[in-house]
Amino acid sequence: MLPTRGYVAKGPASKLEPFTFERREPGPHDVLIDILYCGICHSDIHQARDEWGGAIFPMVPGHEIVGRVARVGSRVKRFKIGALAGVGCFVDSCRRCASCKQGLEQHCEEHLVLTYNGTEKDKKTPTYGGYSSQIVVDEKYTLKISPKLSLPNAAPLLCAGITTYSPLRRFHVGRGQRVGVVGLGGLGHMAIKLAAAMDAEVTVFSTAKAKEQDARRLGAHAFVVSKDPKNLEALANRFDFILDTVSAPHDLNAYLNLLRRDGALALVGASPEPLAVEPFSLIHQRRTLSGSLIGGIRETQEMLDFCAKKNIASDVEVIPIQQVDAAYDRTVNGDVRYRFVIDMKTL
Ligand code: NAP
Ligand code: ZN
Ligand code: ZN
């Protein structure tokens, strides 16, 4: 076994603290990755604070992982020692079900092995995430990172990037379409960059007027302060597609009403509290309300390659791991521009 250092949440109310645990020795298909950077996703906070329920403690969060391959198993073909590698929200799945076969491993019907707050294929052994010195992952679930991308800026692509890219693609966002992005945080800022790179006309809905300049710099064509309902009412029936990234309860109907006939809203924000839907928000204009969960391995690689080609990455604030609790609080308070990324050499 490989002794590994990390940061752990021991319970929903505890601060994160140093922790040592063991990773498995790499098997024939595994790569051992020395972790260089790990992003802080709001999902880390929801889970470390057990806001969704069912959290497994002790928890080492982190699923926006980039690093360098330090060792490869005897049958590994796609990675060599020293190569850049990324790991996202899951590290294995059954590989046999219809979803796995279609490259939609995130919807595995048997058992999705989450990077942390989950269990290995035995459904017993807990998994530990990227706030740690190293990780062992099957090469099939490991992503290639272009050396063209700056590493700390690339880390958030592994969750915030794919979570926004996948629904934009599924709903065929492109030129001539009006796209709304609700919430300008980690996911929201990637959604703006990606939708703009797909040539859509992007409008940002934010509670924070102070983010307007940033939104425009990131590629938005319009910015709406969402706190005043009149600002939304003025835009009724206009949008082809809306991506909702809000992490807390909010009025979904106000956004559904902005969709044109047959328009769709995809919810990726995972508020711990339920959101009420008024039937007429969907019935009028026969609108669609959808959800979306990260993305499969094939699409994650496609997104990483798209980002390398278009020179897109995350706007980050790099922090030492000792500041992780403060970064959690700042994220919850909307005080992040636009993703915290932990420099793992500070571990
Ligand atoms: P984040 O950086 O904290 O951004 C969330 C944004 O939501 C904030 O910046 C804020 O934007 C807005 N917001 C927060 N509280 C609000 C409130 N009470 N009312 C209205 N707007 C509010 O979080 P993130 O990392 O982007 O994650 C966003 C959500 O997506 C989280 O719930 C996370 O768990 C979830 N998530 C889902 C998936 C998936 O696969 N579906 C993947 C990753 C994350 P403004 O300041 O602009 O208003
Ligand atoms: Zn995430
Ligand atoms: Zn499966």
φ/ψ of 28, rounded to 5, equals -60, -30
Span 73-95, pLDDT tens digits: 999 999 999 999 999 999 999 99
CA of 67 to the centre of ligand 3 (A): 26
CA of 83 to the centre of ligand 3 (A): 28
Q: Output the pLDDT for position 238.
A: 98
CA of 92 to the centre of ligand 3 (A): 9
Span 324-341, pLDDT tens digits: 999 999 999 999 999 999
Q: How far apart are CA 63 and CA 163, in angstroms?
A: 12
User: What is the position in ligand 1's atom list of the atom closest to the CA of 40?
Assistant: 25
Q: What percent of the chain has pLDDT over 70?
A: 100
Q: Output the pLDDT for position 244.
A: 99
CA of 121 to the centre of ligand 3 (A): 11
User: What is the position in ligand 1's atom list of the atom closest to the CA of 45?
Assistant: 34
In this structure, are residues 164 and 299 in contact, taking their beta carbons and an 8 Å threshold? no
Span 104-128, pLDDT tens digits: 999 999 999 999 999 999 999 999 9
Q: Output the pLDDT for position 220.
A: 98
- Tell me which residues of the chain have a pLDDT lower than 70: none
Span 226-239, pLDDT tens digits: 999 999 999 999 99
User: What is the position in ligand 1's atom list of the atom closest to the CA of 226?
Assistant: 48
CA of 230 to the centre of ligand 2 (A): 32
Closest-approaching ligand to the CA atom of 292: 1
Span 174-197, pLDDT tens digits: 999 999 999 999 999 999 999 999
Closest-approaching ligand to the CA atom of 96: 3
Closest-approaching ligand to the CA atom of 247: 1
Q: Output the pLDDT for position 145.
A: 98
Q: How far apart are CA 100 and CA 92, in angstroms?
A: 10
CA of 154 to the centre of ligand 3 (A): 27
User: What is the position in ligand 1's atom list of the atom closest to the CA of 292?
Assistant: 41
Question: Shortest CA distance to 162 belongs to which of 43, 336, 329, 323?
Answer: 43
Mutation probe of ligand 1 site: the residue of 46, 247, 300 with most atoms within 8 A of C-beta? 247
Closest-approaching ligand to the CA atom of 268: 1
Q: How far apart are CA 295 and CA 237, in angstroms?
A: 29
Scored b (16 or more CB within 10 A) or e, 162-193 reads bbbbbbbbebebeeebbbbbbbbbbbbbbbbb
CA of 204 to the centre of ligand 2 (A): 21
Q: Output the pLDDT for position 122.
A: 97
**pTM as predicted:** 0.98
Q: Work out whether strand 339-343 and strand 316-320 pair parallel, antiparallel, or are unpaired.
A: parallel
Residues with a beta carbon under 5 angstroms from ion ligand 3: 93-94, 97, 100, 108, 110
CA-nearest residue for atom 1, ligand 1, is 185
CA of 269 to the centre of ligand 1 (A): 5
Q: Which residues line ligand 1 (CB under 6 A)?
A: 41-43, 46, 159, 163, 183-188, 206-208, 211, 245-248, 250, 268-270, 292-294, 331, 334, 336
User: What is the position in ligand 1's atom list of the atom closest to the CA of 271?
Assistant: 32
